[in-house]
Chain A
């Protein structure tokens, strides 16, 4: 089946530092990857849609200069949280689609729990 990995699983950092999270599709090529954020007991919130070789599309209210997304290859997308602050502490999850069809299932990575002190 379609496997998506994320690294790291956990990260604790000091306020003001930057954190990079990697999302990889292990056994398929993902033309589109998605980045979500989930706060405790809340639903997934889409942050941005990332297409290989082009700029990411950010959802309203998400600062593109703070959450930098790079989708340089068909198997790798990265999310960099720049100058992280405690309010950025959350569960960050990526997902990928197995093909370009819009209705294809999204397969999720295991998530990255970010804690900013």
Chain B
């Protein structure tokens, strides 16, 4: 079966750095997406990785290793507004998005 695993919840301190991991097992791979979802709102796109390596976009970076079925989202200089759920999603061979359950990130002052 297809499976996306990510931690349920993480806590970090304002100004610090946090890494949210995602491992996946899917039938085929056409890219991995990270989305941010604030409580009660729809997800917003953060990043897309299809090749191995690190993609940096401001305070957020996303890393992919296809051979290991592994990705992480790195958030630097954490701000209180970063408190949200972070969803990992993999596009499989049928170009369907397989969603993880999300990681709830709690930022403490």
Digitize B87-107: 1 where CB-to-A-CB distance is under 8 Å, 0 elsewhere. 100010001110111100000
Chain B 28-52 per-residue mask, 1 if CB under 8 angstroms from chain A, else 0 = 0011010100001111110010100
Looking at the complex, which one of A93, A103, A106, A107 makes contact with B30 (CB distance below 8 Å)?
Answer: A103
Q: How many A-B residue pairs have CB under 8 A?
A: 44
Q: Which interface class (under 10, 10 to 19, 20 to 34, 35 or more) fits B?
A: 20 to 34
Give every chain A residue within 8 A of B50 (Cβ-Cβ): 103
Q: Please judge, given known A-B contacts A103-B50, A107-B45, whether A44 and B99 are in contact too, CB under 8 Å.
A: yes
Interface string of A80-117 (1 = CB under 8 A from B): 00000000000101000000001101111111010000
Is A46 on the interface with B (CB-CB < 8 A)? yes
- Interface residue from A44, A109, A110 paired with B87 (Cβ < 8 Å): A44
Q: A43-B87, A103-B95 are in contact. Are A110 and B42 (CB under 8 A)?
A: yes
Q: Is A54 an interface residue (CB 8 A)?
A: no
Given A43-B87, A103-B91, verify A111-B42 contact (CB < 8 Å).
yes
The residue of chain A having its C-beta at the shortest distance from the C-beta of B104 within the complex is A41
* Chain B residues positioned under 8 Å from A93 (CB to CB): 42-43
Excluding A103-B30, A106-B33, A110-B42, 4 further A-B contacts by CB distance (< 8 Å) are: A46-B97, A108-B45, A110-B41, A111-B40
Sample (20) of A-B pairs whose CB atoms are under 8 Å apart: A43-B99, A43-B101, A43-B102, A44-B99, A46-B96, A46-B99, A91-B40, A93-B43, A102-B30, A102-B91, A102-B95, A103-B31, A103-B91, A105-B45, A106-B33, A106-B97, A108-B43, A108-B44, A110-B42, A111-B42
9 closest cross-chain pairs (CB), A and B: A102-B95, A108-B42, A111-B42, A43-B101, A43-B99, A93-B42, A44-B99, A108-B43, A105-B45
